[in-house]
Amino acid sequence: MSVRGVPRRIVRFYLDAAGEWVAELACGHTQHVRHDPPWQSRPWVTSAEGRARFIGTELSCVACVDAERESE
């Protein structure tokens, strides 16, 4: 199964009301980033140093694709 979306850079991380880490993307959309093996393996999200290393990397933003479709 391929991931659909547009590559967008991570600009910061924050905790949501439930205590889950969320990545804010350059486009303004957000995406939860969880370390929940075996489904999601992101051990870097569990430490401040790990999250700092991922600032500037890209995640696939499905919300951008959905927004483009709505504007057509």
Question: Could you read off the pLDDT of 16-48 as tens digits, one per residue?
Answer: 999 999 999 999 999 999 998 888 899 999 999
The pLDDT score that the predictor gives to residue 2 is 45
Structural domain span for residue 14: 6-71
Q: What is the mean pLDDT of residues 54-63?
A: 95
Q: Report if residue 51 sits inside a domain.
A: yes
Average model confidence (pLDDT) across the chain: 90
Q: Report if residue 19 sits inside a domain.
A: yes
Distance between start and end Cα atoms, the chain: 26
Q: Which helix (H) or strand (E) holds 70?
A: helix 62-71
Q: Report if residue 1 sits inside a domain.
A: no
Q: Decide: residue 44, CB within 10 A, 0-12 exposed, 13-18 middle, 19+ buried.
A: middle
Domain count for the chain, please give it.
1
Which one has a higher pLDDT value, 32 or 2? 32
The structure's pTM equals 0.83
Under 8 Å between Cβ of 65 and 4: yes
Query: How sure is the predictor about 68, in pLDDT bands with cuts at 50, 70 and 90?
Result: low
